[in-house]
Amino acid sequence: MEKTTRSFGHSPDIKIELMCTGVRYSEALGRAAGHAMPNYYPYRFKAGEPDPTGKGIARIPYLINLPDGTMIRVLGNGDSPWHVAGDVERGYQLCDDRTGRALPMEFEPLRPWMQGKTTDGLPYAQAGVTTHSDMLVVNVAPGCEYFLHKHDGVSMRCAFCAYGAPDERTAHLGQVRGRVDIPAPTLARLKEAMAAVLTDTHVRHLYLVGGSLTDGEAEARRFLQLAQAVRQRTAARMPTSLGSGALPDEWIAEFRRQDLVEFVCFNLEVWSEPLFAKVCPGKNRYVGYERWIQALETAVGHFGPGRVYTAMVAGIELEPEHGLSADEAAATALEGAQDLCRRGIIPIYSLHWPTGGRERPDYHERLRTYFEKLSAGYQQLRARLGLRIHDDFMCHRCAYMQLECDIDRAALRPAA
Ligand code: SF4
């Protein structure tokens, strides 16, 4: 396996380290959970790892900010050489046991809106909004119908997905099985929640997402209703991305005609039809691989080059059942990047930790080799084609599991 050693610049190098190896628990990390934006997943102590909580799990923060605004998701890993020291008064440091270096950092804070409620008493945090620094993500219908269906004993949900079906977990949003439209009270609460977010958070990007429906027209209608509501209810126009599944062509045209969004991001997730069929059986069955790419091309035709994106789950190719080495997985992903970019579609790679193969001693090294190789190859491709991630779509302040914005930004800055 060829190992890449390329440096992408100071902050991207730190970010890639933490993305691929995570951070070990420390008391400072645990204490920070009291004032930082909370992580969706608790820290899970490994067998034999010192556990000062005595509980096996601990609450930890969600996001780290480096001084230049670089954002990194906190991933707990008891084997990591990195830990966090310090406190909120004197400041935090990221410490590397191997070299002894300590780098200044902060945690994304728990903002006041996160503890507020709508006038009818629903916590804003449950009203369908969340933030990653300057990106506001709107998701008022997170339940995904693919979780409701099985074919030949195979669930139609995507293999990596942590969402769920429309069920009691989505009932507070008025999302129930079989209902396409978003209820008026849900949109009223969303309006209040968005107003609260915008009072204490500097937001530069809006991203509309949600679970999928098996009927593409119905999904399009729901997203159209959402985009209209968001546009009407946001006083200042903000760059907005349509993060639905791949929609029928006439509906893509309708979003453009009504001038509701500036960007489109239909997530293909993985390159190559056989991998797509295995990783995203629902998308493959209800939309289809070729049709997904065609829909993205249709969007390029309406919105123009540089405005159509597709998120990819980088690392899922390393799951043992796919049988790919790190080099083969990176080569497959890069082949996809080349093909998509040629069509005017810009992929964005979000790092995924494969669940299988964790017992392999080279687990983290494989992931890192793959991700470095992919990131370096994709940077060269973007440079060759003169492509950049549009700063209104995503930037280094909100890309918490993606590297493209960080790498391109570092490449543009003069060396220190
Ligand atoms: S379509 Fe989206 S929400 Fe549904 S299973 Fe796949 S990733 Fe999850």
Domain residue limits, the chain:
10-107, 112-412
CA of 164 to the centre of ligand 1 (A): 8
Can you give the pLDDT at residue 1? 41
pLDDT above 70: percentage of residues in the chain: 97
How far is the C-alpha of 342 from the C-alpha of 300, rounded, in Å? Answer: 11
How far is the C-alpha of 304 from the C-alpha of 314, rounded, in Å? Answer: 25
How far is the C-alpha of 8 from the C-alpha of 408, rounded, in Å? Answer: 9
CA of 354 to the centre of ligand 1 (A): 17
Give pLDDT tens digits for 31-44. 999 999 999 899 99
Atom of ligand 1 nearest to the CA of 157: 5
Give pLDDT tens digits for 354-402. 999 888 888 989 999 999 999 999 999 999 999 999 999 999 999 999 9
235 pLDDT higher than 80: no
Confidence of residue 416 (pLDDT cuts 50, 70, 90): very low
| CB neighbour list of residue 252: distance below 8 Å, 6 or more residues apart | 264, 295, 298, 299, 302
pTM above 0.85, yes or no: yes
Nearest of 114, 117, 95, 108 to residue 17 by alpha carbon: 95
Mutate which of 137, 139, 140, 144 for ligand 1 pocket (most atoms within 8 A of beta carbon)? 144
Confidence of residue 209 (pLDDT cuts 50, 70, 90): very high
Mutate which of 137, 148, 212 for ligand 1 pocket (most atoms within 8 A of beta carbon)? 212
Q: Is 158 in the pocket of ligand 1 (CB under 6 A)?
A: yes
Can you give the pLDDT at residue 383? 95
Give pLDDT tens digits for 145-170. 999 999 999 999 999 998 888 888 88
In DSSP terms, which residues pair with 311 in a beta bridge? 348
Confidence of residue 311 (pLDDT cuts 50, 70, 90): very high
Confidence of residue 414 (pLDDT cuts 50, 70, 90): low
- Average of per-residue pLDDT across 182-206: 95
CA of 79 to the centre of ligand 1 (A): 30
- Average of per-residue pLDDT across 251-267: 97
CATH number of 112-412: 3.20.20
| CB neighbour list of residue 337: distance below 8 Å, 6 or more residues apart | 271, 347, 377, 378, 381
Residue 38's SS3 state is: strand
Confidence of residue 412 (pLDDT cuts 50, 70, 90): confident
- Average of per-residue pLDDT across 341-350: 98
Can you give the pLDDT at residue 331? 97
In DSSP terms, which residues pair with 312 in a beta bridge? 269, 349
| Token representation of residue 353 | 């930790």
94 pLDDT higher than 60: yes
pLDDT above 90: percentage of residues in the chain: 88
82 pLDDT higher than 80: yes
- Average of per-residue pLDDT across 201-210: 95
Can you give the pLDDT at residue 5? 61
Can you give the pLDDT at residue 9? 87
- Average of per-residue pLDDT across 48-65: 96
Least confident interval from 4-8, 16-20, 23-27, 50-54? 4-8
234 pLDDT higher than 90: no
Atom of ligand 1 nearest to the CA of 147: 5
In DSSP terms, which residues pair with 107 in a beta bridge? 64
Can you give the pLDDT at residue 415? 52
3 pLDDT higher than 60: no
CA of 246 to the centre of ligand 1 (A): 12
- Average of per-residue pLDDT across 119-124: 96
CA of 322 to the centre of ligand 1 (A): 20
- Average of per-residue pLDDT across 344-358: 94
Q: Is 316 in the pocket of ligand 1 (CB under 6 A)?
A: no
2 pLDDT higher than 70: no
211 pLDDT higher than 60: yes
How far is the C-alpha of 86 from the C-alpha of 82, rounded, in Å? Answer: 14
Beta strands 205-209; 154-155: pairing state: unpaired
Atom of ligand 1 nearest to the CA of 142: 3
Angle between helices 363-385 and 10-21 (to 10 degrees): 140
- Residue 411 carries which side chain, given as an amino acid letter? A
CA of 213 to the centre of ligand 1 (A): 9
How far is the C-alpha of 88 from the C-alpha of 412, rounded, in Å? Answer: 32
